[in-house]
Amino acid sequence: MHPMVKPALRRGWRDLNTVQFGMTPAHALTLGPVDTATGSFLELLNGTRGPTLLREEGRRMDLPDGHVDRVVEGLARAGLLDDSRGGGPDADALRGKKEVLDRLRPDLASLSLTTSEPGDAMRHLAARRALRVRVRGAGRVGAVLAGLLSGAGVGEIDVLDGGRVEPWDVAPGGLPAESVGDRRDETARRVVRRAAPGRPPRRGPTTPPEGSTPGFSLVIVAPRDDVAVHTPDPAAAESLMTSGTPHLYAGVVEGTGVVGPLVLPGETGCAGCLHADRTDRDPAWPRLVAQWRSGRQRQVRACDLTLATTVAGLAAAHALAFLDGRTPSSAGARWEISLPGLRWHTRPVEAHPACPCGAAGKGKQEHTPGDGERRETMAGQGPSAEARHEAEPPRPAGTWRAHV
């Protein structure tokens, strides 16, 4: 290991013997007591030295025998250390692609704040390149969302949609103005390729058939139809439920943006559960839905540009959290934000006993990980169920959360 104090954390001394790593309440941690010599030694933890060289430097600084190892182990337990050469073979391969890694360095720094073991951040960033995600819908939300995931290092983004690009589909970061009249799905795939670090190869006639490639780690349903956003059709997700494919809903309906639920088939509430619950609370609900779906379609639906971009960004963040092995707060819930107040609030999507998905019965026996809890990644490179990290692990002796 070549340890380094996580560079994403700003460092400051609260007094002569107490150092604070990080600024924000979510990540700030204080460490003490720290003597002057140890404080100077911290400057050497920059990823350029292995254990042997660090011990030699410690002896030159007259640090006691074993002190260097104790400092390094303590910082590692506190989640303050990263490994500049860790992460495994896939991480090494990514380091060999300098231009790609340079594009992803801000994402790597961010991942270091949400992982605890040295080398974990690089391992998760490299694991993204092996993942496949499908986005259903290439409007103002879906196209931007697909580009964000591609730019964040997800290896393959497939976009499905029909028709041709209309002027009102155009959005910064999404479908460009010059694409009006082109096929919507092909244009969205070009957006994905342009956003990708390293420009992934384009799928073509020589690409192996779908059956020979891994399944999708996640499908994101981002319909352009406002009714499909407000009341997702359970039948449209039937194949996803049958195959056990996790899927996340996102979109804009009238002046409201929606992210969620993230459906883990058989574990969390799904579109069928949402429909059944609404019917229980409002007997007129099925009648209204039938009218909305069969009524005359307006040519252009309300979709505020900034609201759509906000929804795309939050949905991408929830998707990445899931792909990196976390269970985001959209699992079994919908996040909603409405104009003009723009206050996010969450609506639970409980597993319904009448829904054939079976999540209600399973929920009585098992507990889905809570907000932010680590779970096994879709790439198969995450920690096992027996070694899942807690969302808020115990703090080692001599450290505490900073009150900032």
Provide the residue-wise pLDDT of the chain in tens; the chain has 404 residues: 999 999 999 999 999 999 999 999 999 999 989 999 999 999 999 999 999 999 999 999 999 999 999 999 999 999 999 999 999 999 999 999 999 999 999 999 999 999 989 999 999 999 999 999 999 999 999 999 999 999 999 999 999 999 999 999 999 999 999 999 999 999 999 999 999 998 654 554 444 544 445 689 999 999 999 999 999 999 999 999 999 999 999 999 999 999 999 999 999 999 999 999 999 999 999 999 999 988 676 678 999 999 999 999 999 999 999 999 999 999 999 999 999 999 999 999 999 999 999 998 875 444 444 456 665 544 433 322 332 333 344 444 444 444 33
Structural domain for 356, as ranges: 130-387
> CATH number, domain at 310?
3.40.50.720
The reply to whether 210 and 313 lie within a common domain is yes
Conformation bin of residue 88: beta by default, left when phi > 0, alpha when psi is -120 to 50: left
Cβ proximity of 205 and 343 under 8 Å: no
Final residue of a domain: which of 124, 156, 182?
124
Q: Is 25 helix (H, G, I), strand (E, B) or coil?
A: coil
CA atoms of 8 and 386, how far apart (whole Å): 29
- Regarding whether 182 and 50 lie in a shared domain, the answer is no
Rounded to two decimals, the pTM is: 0.86
Residue 395 falls inside a structural domain: no
Q: Which residues contact 127 (CB under 8 A, 6 or more apart)?
A: 90, 324, 377, 379, 381, 382
Domain-embedded: residue 337: yes
Residue 387: partners with Cβ closer than 8 Å, 6 or more residues away: none
CB 176 within 8 A of CB 165: no
- On whether both 117 and 156 belong to a single domain, the answer is no
Same domain, 140 and 74: no
Are 73 and 134 in the same domain?
Answer: no
Helix (H, G, I), strand (E, B) or coil at 395: coil
Do 191 and 262 fall within a single domain?
Answer: yes
Do 61 and 136 lie in one domain? The reply is: no
Boundary (domain end) residue, out of 124, 151, 180 = 124
Are 185 and 44 part of one and the same domain?
no
Instruction: Please tell me whether residues 218 and 314 are part of one structural domain.
Output: yes
Does residue 399 contact residue 150 with C-beta atoms inside 8 Å?
no
